[in-house]
Amino acid sequence: METQDIKPWYKQFYPWFLICIPLSSFIVGGIVISYATDGSDSLVIDDYYKEGKTINSRLDKIQAAKELEIKTLFNIEDGIISVEFVSGLPSTLEALKLDFFHVTQEEKDFHVLLSADANGIYRASTDADYQGKWRVRLTPLDEAWKVQQNVNLPARSPIKLEP
């Protein structure tokens, strides 16, 4: 009689092949579920009622900027941000906040503190990537008024920021 060497099941190809098919589907399903449940949508506001109540205070700040007749020229060249007041220059030349909000990617948002030079031009430098479409908001430190506008950067000429 002939003796055949029969390998145990764990040393054969087909049982492992048949095990790997459902196992791989469980792994891929787990990855898909983790992507689906990871984080929240930063563009969606959870409390619409609260946002609706604060809209009036935002409109008051824009109205205050209109009453002060604030008009500025905004420019960025080689990472140097400059804001020059055409009208409504603050008398104290206190520092201003310039906020950049990316229209779709919250993690790209950044803020800059501008200080005035002797000529009344507010300047600051940044190393942030400012390419693309942004909502730019200019406010004093006490946030008494607000000027905001959507801009595409980089721009070839200074951008007018008006309330």
Domains along the chain with CATH numbers: 69-161 (2.60.40)
pLDDT at 4 over 80: no
pLDDT in the model for residue 96: 93
pLDDT tens readout for residues 109-143:
999 999 998 888 999 999 988 888 999 999 999 88
Q: Are the C-beta atoms of 128 and 76 separated by less than 8 Å?
A: no
Q: d(Cα 157, Cα 137) in Å, to the nearest integer?
A: 18
Percentage of residues in the chain having pLDDT higher than 70: 87
SS (H, E, C) 76-141: EECCEEEEEEEECCCCCCCCEEEEEEECCCHHHCEEEEEEECCCCEEEEECCCCCCEEEEEEEEEC
pTM of the full structure? 0.65
pLDDT tens readout for residues 39-84:
766 666 666 666 666 666 678 888 888 999 999 999 998 889 999 9
For 122, counting Cβ atoms within 10 Å of its Cβ (0-12 exposed, 13-18 middle, 19+ buried), the class is buried
Paired strand residues for 72: 85, 161
Q: Which amino acid is at 54?
A: T
pLDDT at 103 over 90: no
Compute the C-alpha angle 123/124/129, nearest 5°: 130
Residue 33 backbone dihedrals phi, psi, to 5 degrees: -65, -40
Backbone CA torsion sign across 152, 155, 72, 69: negative
